[in-house]
Every structure is written in C-alpha cells, then in structure tokens.
C-alpha cells in the first residue's frame, strides 16, 4: 500500500512520530508534510486538505494520513472535495471502527490536543488496529450489508454535490493552490504516480504554469 503523510504547520513536531508509527508494516510511506527543516514553507490544514484531495483524486496514493492540532480542521478541509471519506481518529477504537464501517482512504489525526505522555504509543496502536481489519467490510456482522449500501450511496452523494475536482483546481483561490502545489515534493509525486492522461494532474500543471 502507498501511504502519504501530510502534516501541517502546527503539528510539524509530530511528523517524525507519525512516520515512525507507520514504519515496518510493509507499506510504502511518503512523507510530504511539514518536517520542520530549515527554510521549509508553511502549510496550513487548508492546504494539506487540498493536497490530499488532489493525490486521492488522481489515484496517486491508497491512503492519506493527515491531521492537525485537534484533527477537526483537516477533517473539515479535506471533506470539501468530491470523493473524500475521512475519519477523525483519536483512539485505536476509532481506527478499528472507521476502517470497517466507513472504509475511507483518508484519516485525520489529533496531534496536539491531549497529545501527552505515550502519545507516540497511541499512534502505533491506532495503526495496529486500522490495518488489522478489512476496510469497508462493515461492523457488526448483522449490519454489514446495510453499511456497504450506505457507503456506496454516500460516494454517489459526494459526486452529485460537488464540482468535479479539475474544475475546483482551476477555480480555487491562489492562496490555497499556489502554496499547496509549490510545496517541495508535491508535484513531483503527482507526476510520478498519476497516469499520463490524468485530468487532475493536467489541471494542476496548467494552474502552476499559467498563473
């Protein structure tokens, strides 16, 4: 599985902890978030939400691990875009239930609020439980079929109630698009993993070259 980690400015000190919690599980981990290196530009949860939507919409990644201080900002940011199912994950039980019931490809971690002693251990437990079940399988047993129908319906609702992502990329405010697409590694990742005919990639390329 290809996993992208996207941490923003208020949680850059947690970046290495998120990466450590994901390592040694047999997945490809790509760290595109803020790492706290000297001269690094800032990303807010507004921009990481947009980047996440681009990467997921273009099929570049199987999972985005984002978040912010409370997890709420990133959650609300990324859910503005079509086709996104994101869960607010604060505990291993949250992870275990979200993976089975919702099966989303994006999670928002709570990286400052109540992140105290053994917070790094909690992150490891979260991913232990998140990867321990079949995504979207449903829980409990007698609700599986109903939940799978609801999940499919929600995807349709998201498609009906949003503009297509390429249109959003073209129309989006420069204050969101420019810092997001110009952040080190983001467009390189899109160019590497999006298909040659990907319309989302083309929209991003057009946006960064014409404005």
Q: What is the pLDDT of residue 141?
A: 87
* Residue pLDDT, tens place only, 148-194: 999 899 989 999 999 999 999 999 999 999 999 999 999 999 999 99
Residue that is written with structure tokens 């949680």 in the block: 11
Q: What is the pLDDT of residue 29?
A: 98
**Number of domains making up the chain:** 1
CA atoms within 13 A on the CB side of 83: 14
Q: What is the pLDDT of residue 204?
A: 97
Quote the CA–CA distance of 192 and 157 in Å, as a whole number. 30
Domain limits for position 164: 2-210
Q: What is the pLDDT of residue 118?
A: 97
CATH of the domain at 103: 3.40.1400.10
How much is the average pLDDT of 141-149?
90
* Residue pLDDT, tens place only, 23-76: 999 999 999 999 989 999 999 999 999 999 999 999 999 999 999 999 999 999
Q: What is the pLDDT of residue 211?
A: 54
Model confidence band, residue 209 (pLDDT cutoffs 50, 70, 90): confident
Read off the pTM.
0.96
Contacts of 51 (CB under 8 A, 6+ apart): 6, 32, 43, 180, 181, 183, 186
* Residue pLDDT, tens place only, 72-121: 999 999 999 999 999 999 999 999 999 999 999 999 999 999 999 999 99
Residue that is written with structure tokens 């902890």 in the block: 17
Residue that is written with structure tokens 């697409």 in the block: 181
Residue pair 49/74 in contact (Cβ under 8 Å)? The answer is yes
């Amino acid at each position: 599985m290809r996993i992208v980690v996207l941490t923003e400015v208020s949680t850059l000190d947690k970046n290495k902890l998120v990466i450590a919690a994901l390592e040694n599980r047999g997945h490809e981990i790509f760290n595109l978030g803020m790492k706290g290196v000297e001269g690094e530009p800032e990303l807010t949860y507004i921009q990481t939400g947009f980047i996440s939507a681009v990467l997921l919409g273009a099929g570049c990644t199987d999972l985005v691990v984002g978040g912010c201080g409370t997890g709420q900002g990133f959650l609300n940011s990324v859910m503005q875009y079509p086709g996104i199912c994101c869960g607010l994950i604060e505990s291993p039980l949250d992870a275990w239930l979200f993976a089975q019931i919702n099966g989303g490809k994006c999670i928002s971690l709570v990286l400052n609020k109540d992140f105290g002693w053994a917070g790094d251990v909690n992150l490891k437990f979260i991913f232990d439980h998140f990867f321990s079940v079949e995504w979207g399988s449903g829980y409990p047993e007698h609700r599986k079929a109903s939940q799978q129908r609801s999940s499919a319906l929600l995807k349709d609702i998201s498609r009906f109630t949003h503009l297509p992502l390429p249109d959003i990329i073209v129309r989006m405010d420069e204050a969101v698009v420019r810092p997001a697409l110009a952040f080190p590694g983001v467009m390189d990742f899109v160019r590497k993993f999006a298909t040659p005919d990907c319309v989302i990639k083309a929209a991003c390329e057009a946006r960064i070259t014409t404005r």
